[in-house]
Structure 1
Amino acid sequence: MRLPDDDEIYDVDATYLGPPGRYIGRFRYRAILVGPFVFFLGLAFLTRTGIGYSLLSVGLLLIGSTWLTGWIVDNTSQERPLAVMVQTLGHELTARRHPLKGHRTRPTRAFRARSTHIGAPHDLPSGRRRWRSYTNRSSSKAGA
């Protein structure tokens, strides 16, 4: 179990407060390196997919890269670097799974092929009971 660090000096040392005399916001030093990398990777994605550079696409990319950068910076630390998180994700996706027998899903009745057309005349199957409960079956034998 990891406990949060209660040392304020450590927290301030990991945070960039801006140039002297100006306050532009508080962000971590790791975000200075991770943010542009994520943004340029997103620009390469826009180019490769042919989406192009419009105000909407670049604006959404900026919002998305800011969110992703914040998530990466919040979830990584000296104890758990980004490379370990990526490697763990790769191991989780490529891990061998034990096949479960008998747990396969079947298509629902709505998607099975129809044996008759809707509205076509057809006979009821001969061996089929119309009443499922025991009381109806016993009353049908008594009346016959």
Structure 2
Amino acid sequence: MTEPTGYSPDQALARDLLVTSLSGASLCWARVHGYIAEGLPEEIRAEGIHIQDRSVWTINLADITDAVTELIEHPDLVAAPGAISDGRTLPYVAASLAAARQQELRRVVDLDTADADYSATESHELIADVVFQLAATGEVVR
């Protein structure tokens, strides 16, 4: 996959979050029917279906960026009731995303995972999955 050019830092990070989630982080709750990960920022998108409730979703970079903003600003309001078993998850994801935005990071792999209870790969997949869930369903569902 090529490094995107002409993307703002937020768009580049959103694209990388989408690609990371589509590479395995989100596949336990969603079935992806198709996606476009190369091209202009307005062309990047994914579509699929929620495995349990069969709802159809389509997301783009704006949806991912909006989910990042919502997680940073209101991490306590984004989860479905009883969906998150570890109360540290959403504050960790929110803090990681806030730091990424402040530092204008463009790639998930550049997120600092030093304080995580997970390996770097697990941490990156967790962050991408949480963002993806919120963008696709309007809430964190697992």
Shorter chain as normaliser: what TM range? under 0.3
TM, length-normalised to structure 1:
0.25
Higher Cα Rg, which structure: 1
Larger strand proportion, structure 1 or 2? 2
* TM-score (structure 2 length as normaliser): 0.25
Higher relative contact order (CA 8 A, sep 6+): 2
